[in-house]
Amino acid sequence: MDLLLSIPPTSVILLRIGEHLTLVLIAMIVATGIGIPVGIIMSRYPKLANPILLVTNGVQTVPSLALFGFLITVPFIGGIGKKPAIIALILYALLPIIKNTYIGITQIKKGMREAGKSLGLTPFKILFLIELPLALKVILGGVRIAAVICVGIATIAAAIGGGGLGVFIFRGLSTVDNTTILVGAVPSAIIALLVDWGLGWLETNLTQKESNNSNNQQIITLILILLSIFIFTIFSFVNQSQKQVIIGSKNYTEQVILGEMIAQHIENSSDLKVTRRFNLGGTFICHEAIKAEEIDGYVEYIGTAFTAILKRKPVNDTDLVYQEVKKFYNQEFKLEVMPSLGFENTYTLLVREETAKKYNLKTISDVTQYTPKWTAAFSYEFLAREDGYPGLSKTYNLKFSQQPNTMELGLMYRALAEKNVDLVAGFSTDGLISTLDLYMLKDDKNYFPTYEAVPVFNQKTLQQHPNLTSILQKLSGKVSSEDIQKLNYLVDHDRKSVNEVVKDFLSKKDLR
């Protein structure tokens, strides 16, 4: 029964498959259109080969998530959504196409070209009648490799709101749900195999000498279909409705719930269309996205904004932190910080329940005598933030036998529950804490600052839609710590859909 609850509706799965195929198709059409000509130019001007291959090789060495994150801040081609995702896929696809085109042409025997010249063929005709046909098998091999690479890397697009099957993978990781992960991973693997087989078939048929006319007709038909899909997709991008609000979220359950809560509340209270861009990654990705006006709003925690964005030392005065964040965001970023939703979600150190009972652990100070023999795991963000591990280790004199592991949040909880690590840093309102029988250690030295949850919106958006401010303010104080813990539990443990959980909550609060 739990397995069935974890599987999204068929319509949603098909939608994500369609998004995934669209990303790969557009990227491959553009990459092929660029890569083959560049490979031809390299074969004519060999001095250009090394610099071009050096650049394209360099792109391949950049971690995909890093490249996606970098593109958020790049003007014109960057931001979040499908556009930067497609740009990233194009960059990754170029190397095999360019390299195979160059190799395929340069490996043709010189005598073949000389034969063409003796027949009076122009360089243009030699290229299309001799070189490209002879190099076609190698070129298509490069296209084939690039396509399979794109199918795999396209799953990362979900981290910047690009959609696709990666949405299920990131969702499954954040909720420790293997079924949801497989819903994204299995279709992606099947698509990769089908793409490899299909391009292999095309490669075989194109390079056969027999039945050329029939093959050419099939190829022309395939190209027309691909171009039709490409034109339709571009048209859908250009023809988007302007009367819309884009809501984002970070990449874990509570953030998706809060993003959906704001989205549904806006839809219920106005005629605005809301576009969801959830699972965008960590704090910095969401912050850059809203600054670049790629999203209109998301929920932030004031302690996170104060320490991670403003780079201030942790402070435990809620009103002071809120006012400082509100003032700075307003003046420097042109962002409006709304009143608190009514709860805070603070960092907390977690151990297993059995460990807490065995050593009688209640506070963070209690664990300091055991940590030299323990293994810890923290998120990327927690290790880098001012209010994260660096300051915490000094405050409590935490020492470990080895450097703490760096892990994604959902995997970190699982690693703790399965005894792969002994201590992790999580969030106090996470539903997985009770689900996995974890124990929260009290911050007895009050190290962590306040983390009230507040909606953050672009001032330009609020000016364009004057009624939006009053709509958002109706959520102020409506979500208690108990409420969000329950909502997280319903999604993480009971495997209920975020949409239904939020819908029921808003109904009970008379916010529908």
Reported confidence tier of residue 325, pLDDT bands at 50, 70, 90: very high
User: Which CATH number is associated with domain 244-340+464-508?
Assistant: 3.40.190.10
Task: Please state the pTM of the whole predicted model.
Answer: 0.72
Region(s) of the chain under CATH 1.10.3720.10: 2-207
What is the CATH class of 347-441?
A: alpha beta
Q: List every span in the chain annotated with CATH 3.40.190.120.
A: 347-441
Tell whether the model's pLDDT for residue 302 goes beyond 50.
Answer: yes
Nearest to 342 by CA among 299, 306, 305, 312: 299
CA distance 99 to 139: 9
Q: Which residues pair with 136 in a beta bridge?
A: none
Q: Average pLDDT for residues 94-118, to the nearest whole number? A: 87
Q: What is the pLDDT of residue 233?
A: 53
CATH code at 2-207: 1.10.3720.10
pLDDT digits 0-9 by tens, 343-368: 998 889 999 999 999 999 999 999 99
Share of the chain above pLDDT 70, in %: 90
The pLDDT, as a whole number, for residue 239 is 44
pLDDT beyond 60 at 210: no
Asked if residue 213 has pLDDT above 70, the reply is no
Specify the higher pLDDT residue, 296 or 284: 296
Q: How confident is the model at residue 240, as a pLDDT?
A: 47
pLDDT digits (tens, 9 = 90+) for 392-447: 999 999 999 888 998 877 788 889 999 999 999 988 888 888 888 899 999 999 89
The pLDDT value recorded for residue 20 is 92
In the chain, the percentage of residues whose pLDDT exceeds 90 is: 49
The per-residue pLDDT for 380 is 82
The CA distances from residue 121 to 44, 113, 115, 127, 450, in Å, are 17, 9, 9, 10, 77
Give start-end residues of each CATH 3.40.190.10 domain in the chain.
244-340+464-508
| pLDDT (mean) for 225-242 | 51
Task: With a cut of 50, say whether residue 206 has pLDDT above it.
Answer: yes
Please, what is the average pLDDT of the chain?
86
Q: What is the pLDDT of residues 134-181, one digit of tens each?
A: 888 899 999 999 999 999 999 988 888 788 898 888 877 766 678 888
Please, what is the angle between helix 82-106 and helix 49-61, to 10°? Answer: 140
Q: What angle do CA 171, 176, 182 make, to 5 degrees?
A: 65
Residue-wise pLDDT tens digits, 29-44 = 999 999 999 999 999 9
Task: Return all residues near 118 (Cβ < 8 A) that are at least 6 apart.
Answer: none
